Structure formats: structure tokens, C-alpha cells
Structure 1
């Protein structure tokens, strides 16, 4: 799967950037490096990567602005790196188009696993969306072909992974989906180490579509309510 896949790493800490690049190249990826915000945007335009590994704290302008500009030009999976485990930063990152995040320090081996999982998710979503019927639950409309979401006739702009998570829940209204199952089916992860990722994406969906849309089942997971 990694053959001929191109990853752009935008990271100003040279040691981290080189370590990540070496591990990705060992897995068969083509890797480009950028060390600041403007360079990251320019590299994304020039190389058209299949995935971007993006640090939040960068010279020039930060990773959030890089993500915003890159996604506006061409949607691409983004794995964000942050030195702070701050929920506000993470939610902002998800809101501008990041698909996943990792907190420093991290294992390069785990990062590569996340990259593989994100790319598998993109391929799987593209195959599933082709010819799929629209989902209507109450005043919520989810169109898998055009990848559009409307609530009460008003369109909401979701990131790719937010859309996939919502579509998964909307296809099973009122059915409780454990976090571990969501991680496996949406993110492609085989363990429960990233349950906070699910929680953060659910919070972002609630902010965009309404707090009443997704019900928390404490200690288990989430269920989509049938909105009126």
C-alpha cells in the first residue's frame, strides 16, 4: 500500500523530522520535508502529497494555518503533532481539517501505524461512498456520494473524518457504538489507545451540528439520536 505514496512532513525540529522521515522511507513511502509554515504550504502545492504529518508549533505561521490553507486548496489527510495535550488546541486542529493527532513525545513506529491507518481509511471511504444512498434521520441528511451534510436544510462543513464518523453513526440511529469499534472501523486502529480521538471528534460534530445530535453512553461509546 505504501508503494509510491508520498508523505509531506512539516516539522521545525530537525531531529524529529529526520527520524520520522527515515521511518516512513523504510516503509516504502516517498517523503518530503518542510521546516516552517510557508514552506509547508508551498511544499504541499508542489508535491501534492497523499498525507501530511504536521507540527502545530512552526515558524512563519503555525500548523493550524498550514492545515487551513492546504485543505482549502486540496483536501488531504493530515496527522497533527503537538507538544501540548491541550483539548482546545486539538479541537481547533480538528476543526480546520486535521484527521488525527499525536502528542509529543511519540513513537515513530506508532506514527507510521497511524499513517497506514489514515490512508486505508481514505481508500475504504472512497470505495464505500461510490453509489451509496443518502441517509436521512429526522432533519439530518447525509449524502455519501457528494459527501455533504445538512441539518434542517442548512449545510455543515465537516472534515473528511468527521463525515465518516457521522455517516457511520447515522446509518445506525440509536444504536450504541463503542469507542473501540469506532476506532477500528473509522480510523482502522486495532486497540483502544486513541479513545480521546473519538471524543474530540464527537465534540467537534456537536459544535457544528448541535449538542442534541449525539448521545454519550458513559463507559461505552456514542449513539446518534433521531433529531426532530
Structure 2
């Protein structure tokens, strides 16, 4: 069974989500503050963590920041509805996606499945088991490893998904709609900045081309392109 960590101080909500997710076949561990959530997440037992922003002892954003210092496990943030600042900050700190509260158990389950779909994909089902090489970038999709100029690069699961889509279309513009569908496994919503924030993070993590430009370029009103150096 896939192990999911729920970290939220709303006990009633957590109980409802836990009951639904267990019926969906997940094994759920629930804690109600950030400090306990961080300790559990760092144990390495879980496939994904669902992390609330507002919590006692250790706020969700600080929990995420500290977790990212040691782990790239998938993280789904629970944010207040309409709070764009929290959403963007969470993505910048390394969250894979977010769900606005109040949320339905069905929506949360769908987002969890979307994030885990690629990370738990069997090597035989991967689209091409061979290494992808574009200039200084090397990717091993079946192992979910990335190197830039010979050095390892630590990416979140969503960052890896998006970079793989760009790599398989290197030199060609990929729309944000396609990136959202293939990288986040959901349609691009209106005013959704997830793709943009993840692209900004990728630019910081990857090196530059020989002329000093970022290897990921924005194509105005069209999308993004991974430049072949």
C-alpha cells in the first residue's frame, strides 16, 4: 500500500480525509503539527506528504523548507482558498502542487494520484528507457536522475516531470497547457502560475548555456523551450 503522510492541525478534516483515502487504498499516517510532520517525513517511509500551511509548533512553509534540505519526496500543500502568496511561496520552496481549503477528499485523492503517477511508474512503462542528452543536460527517466555538466541536480518530482517534457521536445516550444497536462497531470487552470514558478526553479537549479543564457527560454504567449546548446 502507498503510504501517505497527512500533516494538518484540523483534526476533524484530517479524520475525514484519512477515512476516504484509506478506502482508496492508501495507508495513512496523520500528525497535527509541523514538528511531528517533519520528523515523520524525514523517516523515509512515505511516498508523499500532504502539508497544511497554518500549523502549531512549526508552520507549514518552514516545515517544507527544512524538509527540502534533506529530501525531495513529493509534497502537496493545503492552502487557504484564494491565498496566492502562500501558493507561490510553497511552490518556490519546492512543493509539487497545492490544493485550496476547504477541499473535498475526492479532489485531494486525484491530486495525490497525479503526483505519484510518474514517480511510481515502473521502468518498463517509462517512455524510453535510454538516457536523454541535450547539451550539458543528461536525464535518466526510468531512474528519475538528472545531471548538468556532469554534476547531479536534485529536482522535485514535478520539476523532473516538466523538465522531461521539455527534454523530449528540445528545440521546440511546449505550451503551458501541455506542460500542465503532462507534468502536473491536470489541465491548466485560469490564472494558474504553477508551471511558471516551477520553470523559475528549474532555471535556478540548472546551469547556463555557453553564451550565459538560461537553457530554458520563455516564448511569449506560447510556452517554454529547452534550448539545444
TM-score of the superposed pair, with normalisation by structure 1: 0.80
Between the aligned partners of 2:79 and 2:16, the Cα distance in structure 1 is 16
Between the aligned partners of 2:100 and 2:123, the Cα distance in structure 1 is 28
The two structures, once aligned, show a CA RMSD in angstroms of: 2.9
Which of 214, 221, 224 aligns to 2:223? It is 221
Deviation at 1:155, TM superposition (A): 4.0
Deviations 1:120-175 (A, max 9, x none): 1212375566983332222333344460221x445433223212221221222121
Q: Does the aligned pair in 2 maintain the 1:125–1:164 contact within 8 Å?
A: no
Q: Does the aligned pair in 1 maintain the 2:74–2:156 contact within 8 Å?
A: no
Between the aligned partners of 1:192 and 1:131, the Cα distance in structure 2 is 26
Structure 1 unaligned segments of length 5 or more: list them.
Answer: none
Look up the match of 1:41: 38
The more displaced of 76-85 and 98-107 is 98-107
Q: Does the aligned pair in 1 maintain the 2:8–2:51 contact within 8 Å?
A: yes
Between the aligned partners of 2:145 and 2:125, the Cα distance in structure 1 is 11
Count of aligned residue pairs for this structure pair: 219
Look up the match of 2:121: 124
Between the aligned partners of 2:84 and 2:122, the Cα distance in structure 1 is 29
Structure 1 residues 47 and 176: CA distance shift in structure 2, 3 A: closer
Between the aligned partners of 2:139 and 2:2, the Cα distance in structure 1 is 30
Look up the match of 1:192: 188
Q: Which secondary structure state, in structure 2, belongs to the residue aligned with residue 80 of structure 1?
A: strand
Look up the match of 2:147: 149
Q: Please identify which structure carries the higher helix content.
A: 1
Equivalences for 1:1-228 in 2 at 5 Å? 4-44=1-41, 48-70=45-67, 75-83=72-80, 84-86=83-85, 88-94=88-94, 98-124=95-121, 126-127=123-124, 132-144=129-141, 145=143, 147-150=145-148, 152-189=149-186, 191-193=187-189, 195-209=192-206, 210=208, 212-227=214-229
Between the aligned partners of 2:14 and 2:125, the Cα distance in structure 1 is 34
TM-score of the superposed pair, with normalisation by structure 2: 0.79
